[in-house]
Structure 1
Amino acid sequence: MALTRRQALRTLAGAAALGSMGAPLVLTSRNRPQFKGRIKHSVCKWCYPNLSVEELAAAGVKMGLQSIELLDPPDWPIVKKYGLTCAMGNGPSRIPDGFNRRENHEWLIPQFKKRIEEAAEAGIPNIICFSGNRNGMDDEEGLENCVIGLKEILPTAEKYGVTICMELLNSKIDHPDYMCDHTEWGVRLVKRLGSERFKLLYDIYHMQIMEGDIIRTIRENIEYIAHFHTAGVPGRHEIDDSQELYYPAIMRAIADAGFDGFVAQEFIPTADDPLESLRRAIAICDV
């Protein structure tokens, strides 16, 4: 993640001169972007380091976004002010240090319980979590440790109606040694836990790198998925015809499967106007 943030800072240099955005925009039926309504659109804030949450919210609401995500609790009221939600709130876990190591449970469990309560109070539907890296650990042992730790927080999640989502990440390029790097492993974890308040964050970019076969995998596992992330492959940039994935077909598969969660753009813009890249991505995903 650190590398991609450095890339983002280079590619977005000079793109933040939006100035004051003024009061939150109230959209009317005449100026509201017209979408087909089959996909709920979100964006990950970290991809726009030169914009504040306030600036991204003000710009995003004009282009039809419904959410800005991967935010900490202090930022949740900002997006709410603009009539947006944070579809995926940050959890207290870190990518390399997750639930697959029992020594992490001592701090993860109380911090997640607190974060779940905060999310419920703010109306945030989902909180992200991570498996952690292998560091020599067998995948079966890691899965069992995740079950043990997550079972301690799921009663709180069920009580407050907040869904914990473990993200599928690639261990080939961006997150070497990450354990939850294949859909099959993640689905087995969801089945073992057996709770509607634990599902997967299916990152299309990461899973294209690890296993491909995106549309069939989504169709066969949609019941275990609560959220999607996008980005172009290769490079994690725009989702246009410069890369190998055809996102309109992927979005149609998601919508046709009856998915009612959010799809979040998580690509790093390379264009001079990063917000125009975001606007185009939303249009591409509006199926």
Structure 2
Amino acid sequence: MGDKYSRRDALKTLVIGSGALSIGGVVSSFAAINFIDKHQADKNSRNINHSVCRWCFADIPLDKFAQQCAAMGIGAIDLLKPSEWDTVEKHGLVCSMATDDFADIENGFNETENHEVLQKNYKGLIDKASEHNIKNVIVFSGNRRGMDEKSGIKNCVTGLRPLLEYAENRNVNLVMELLNSKVDHPDYMCDNTEWGVALAEELDAPNFKLLYDIYHMQVMEGDIIATIKKHHKHINHYHTAGVPGRNEINDSQELNYSAIMRAIVETGFDGYVAQEFIPTYDNKMAALQEAIKICDV
């Protein structure tokens, strides 16, 4: 397996290397695909609201990327900063999850000394998101650094509650992402569904939700469909990627994404499912189109 990088690296550096990983047979089967099906948007079932994370395709100019996404029926792009919103909006897309440079996976709301700066910065981002009618802003727990689970929840509640009241008045959700601490984000605190749900129930705020990253939670705990069915009321956003490797979501990996998407639809979910795999195909947009077709149940 070749060079590996994570979204954490991308968000810190804002530069994505090629990072290409190869899967025997898969790349060759798609090497001839060098087009986007211009009629894909009309073929989609409309059961899933499709999105895609920008950082996985960062080497494609955003304007071109947004245009191609719109052509294949993708309605949104995830993890965009304010400076990028106008570019996607002119193509009829929305930012489905807002972020900015200050949003730090490792240094989050579980440390009280971070609260003052985070609250100030997040209020600014919430205001900007509200002006653009963007509904979701991402937040992170931060790393444990020896902290026990209950203290982490208590600190997150203290730091998030004032922001949630501020955001509710502006019709914005704060969405905490579930990330694995086993492979990609060592020591991250919100690394399992039960912890995230416990925080959500303690906050008891209508605009606090979880971003259920299917890749990360398969790595940490498995039992994806049962967990989604049990805790769907706390989830308003999903991310995808293949396990293992974080690459394409086809049959080269262990998850049955069509079955997972059907389970999500059965819960009555009306948010976005954002592709967050690292493409290995020479034609990255062909890989993305394949993923949309798999998830379009």
Q: Same fold (TM over 0.5)?
A: yes
For residue 271 of structure 1, give the secondary structure of its aligned residue in structure 2. Answer: coil
How far did residue 110 of structure 1 move? 1.1
For residue 120 of structure 1, give the secondary structure of its aligned residue in structure 2. Answer: helix
Q: 1:262 aligns with which of 272, 286, 292?
A: 272
Change (3 A) 1:220 1:87: same
> Within 2, Cα distance between the matches of 1:31 and 1:101?
45
Alpha-carbon contact 1:8-1:48 (below 8 Å) kept: no
How far did residue 8 of structure 1 move? 5.3
Q: What aligned pairs does 1:152-191 form with structure 2 within 5 A after superposition?
A: 152-191=162-201
How far did residue 4 of structure 1 move? 6.6
> Within 2, Cα distance between the matches of 1:283 and 1:70?
22
**Structure-2 residue corresponding to 1:69:** 78
How far did residue 33 of structure 1 move? 3.0
Alpha-carbon contact 1:147-1:189 (below 8 Å) kept: yes
For residue 33 of structure 1, give the secondary structure of its aligned residue in structure 2. Answer: helix
Deviating above 6 A after TM superposition, structure 1's stretches of 4 or more consecutive aligned residues are none
How far did residue 114 of structure 1 move? 1.2
Instruction: Say whether residues 1:11 and 2:20 are aligned partners.
Output: yes
**Structure-2 residue corresponding to 1:57:** 66
Alpha-carbon contact 1:8-1:47 (below 8 Å) kept: no
Alpha-carbon contact 2:75-2:93 (below 8 Å) kept: yes
For residue 117 of structure 2, give the secondary structure of its aligned residue in structure 1. Answer: helix
Q: 1:225-274: per-residue Cα shift (whole Å, max 9, x none)?
A: 01000000000000000000000000000001100000000000000100
> Within 2, Cα distance between the matches of 1:198 and 1:69?
18
Q: 1:92-117: per-residue Cα shift (whole Å, max 9, x none)?
A: 42000000000000100111111111
Change (3 A) 1:120 1:169: same
**Structure-1 residue corresponding to 2:283:** 273
Alpha-carbon contact 1:87-1:125 (below 8 Å) kept: yes
Q: 1:140-176: per-residue Cα shift (whole Å, max 9, x none)?
A: 1111000000011011111011000000000000000
Q: 2:252 aligns with which of 229, 242, 246?
A: 242
Q: 1:37 aligns with which of 28, 32, 46?
A: 46
Unpaired segments ≥5 residues, structure 1:
13-26
Alpha-carbon contact 2:179-2:213 (below 8 Å) kept: yes
> Within 2, Cα distance between the matches of 1:4 and 1:104?
21
TM-score between both structures, scaled by the size of structure 2? 0.88
**Structure-2 residue corresponding to 1:223:** 233
Instruction: Say whether residues 1:197 and 2:210 are aligned partners.
Output: no
How far did residue 123 of structure 1 move? 1.1
**Structure-2 residue corresponding to 1:284:** 294
Change (3 A) 1:184 1:3: closer
> Within 2, Cα distance between the matches of 1:163 and 1:190?
12
TM-score between both structures, scaled by the size of structure 1? 0.91
Instruction: Say whether residues 1:150 and 2:138 are aligned partners.
Output: no
Instruction: Say whether residues 1:111 and 2:121 are aligned partners.
Output: yes
**Structure-2 residue corresponding to 1:16:** none
Alpha-carbon contact 1:171-1:210 (below 8 Å) kept: yes
Size of the aligned set, in residue pairs, is 271
Instruction: Say whether residues 1:95 and 2:102 are aligned partners.
Output: no
How far did residue 3 of structure 1 move? 7.7
For residue 105 of structure 1, give the secondary structure of its aligned residue in structure 2. Answer: helix
How far did residue 7 of structure 1 move? 7.8
> Quick one: which amino acid aligns to residue 83 of structure 1?
G
> Within 1, Cα distance between the matches of 2:72 and 2:187?
37
> Quick one: which amino acid aligns to residue 70 of structure 2?
V
> Quick one: which amino acid aligns to residue 65 of structure 1?
I
> Within 1, Cα distance between the matches of 2:98 and 2:263?
25
> Quick one: which amino acid aligns to residue 9 of structure 1?
S
